[in-house]
Structures are given as C-alpha cells and as structure tokens.
Structure 1
C-alpha cells in the first residue's frame, strides 16, 4: 500500500521498513545499512516522510562525541502500527485475490 501526497509517495512499504529499522538501530545510517541502502537515500526518505506529516515521525540528533542518532516519535510508532494493521487486514480480507495474483507470477 502506498499513500500519496500530491506526486510524492508520503508513505509506503519502504518508508515503514525504514522506520522499523531506525527504531531497532537508533540511527539512520545503521538503519540504511541493515536495509542495503545508502545513507543519502535513507535520509531523503525520512525527510520526505517528515515533510509530509503534520508532526515528524523521527527526531534526529547531530553527530559529535555521543555520535548522534535518530529515534521515532509517537507519530512514527503509530505509523508503523497502523500500516502493519492495514497489511494484515488486506492479507485476511483479500487472501483469495492475492492467491490468484501469485498464480500469475513466474516462479
């Protein structure tokens, strides 16, 4: 599922995966590495997401002696929870259609 805000994808599976990785690793760079993406790509995705929201999903601290970091806000946690709930509901409700689509795939 993707939610658009104008031409931009405000929220989609990649951004939710990235939020989960930020929650796990505590930094954008570590989250990016865990997902096999560049820091710049991860930073741009987080920035695009935060600009699309009324309140940011993440809070970043500048690097330095403590090394900086990134944490989720309550909005970020809510996004993950709601997005995964929608995915699960779609799996349950659309199991037949998903199975038919999978039959069309080359395995």
Structure 2
C-alpha cells in the first residue's frame, strides 16, 4: 500500500467524536479497498479476516454518519466495494495529516535518536 512511508515517527489517530475516528489501520484498510475494489482483498493484504475487515468498514460507516465504503454483493463479476466521495476525502485528509505530523516532529525525533545513540556508545 502506498500510504505514508514508514518513518518510525509514531502513529497518528484522529478522534473526531466518540464513534468517528481514524488511525493508520483504518486508513490502510480504506486505501486497500480503493486499490483492490474488495473488502476481502484489502483485509487479506493486512493479514485480517474478512469478518474483521467488514466490522471495521461498518464501524467507519456508522461512526462518520455516512458511508465511507459502499459494498455490493454478488460473486466475482458483480460484487465489490469502493470508497464513496466522503471516504476518499477522509483518507486523503488523514494521509495529509500523517505527512504533516511526521514532518513537524522529525527534528525532535532525530535529537532523541541521537541521545539514544550517545547513551549506547557510553556503555
């Protein structure tokens, strides 16, 4: 998955209400659905069962008060899933927040890593 490159700078979870929140796992699932057109395939890519992936999609849809993902039943030729316009907007804005957060804290993280390296060298 494309997402934000792993920088080791932590995980951003944005809580909007008690039920509406998004973090790296939910964003990766949305991105996987956008890329594969399938909840099942997106879940598999993340090492989760279809049941777990579907549960997260339901939680996202209910939490945001409108569908982020729309799914249709019906076998290989007819079934599938896609992000709604809202789902695309939520994913795009979350990825932008991740990138800005990583950029904002990169200097402090570098200093902390240097401190650890210095302490390791003194042992």
TM over 0.5: yes
Q: Label 1:21 to 1:101 Cα distance change in 2 as closer, same or farther (>3 A).
A: farther
**Residues 53-85 of structure 1, C-alpha deviation per residue, up to 9 Å, x if partnerless?**
132111000124734110010111111110111
Other-structure match for 2:28: 17
Structure whose CA Rg is larger: 2
Backbone CA RMSD of aligned residues: 2.0
Q: TM-score, normalised by structure 1?
A: 0.84
SS of the aligned residue for 2:70 comes to strand
Structure 1 match to 2:37: 26
More strand per residue: 1 or 2? 1
Q: Secondary structure at the match of 1:94?
A: helix
Across the two proteins, how many residue pairs are aligned to each other?
103
Q: Which residue does the alignment assign to 2:71? A: 60
> Which residue of the partner structure matches residue 93 of structure 1?
104
Structure 1, unpaired ranges of 5+ = none
For structure 2, which runs of at least 5 residues remain unmatched after alignment? 1-11, 117-123
* Separation (CA, whole Å) in 2 of partners of 1:62 and 1:101: 50
TM-score (norm 2): 0.74
With a CA cutoff of 8 Å and minimum separation of 6, indicate the structure with the bigger relative contact order: 2
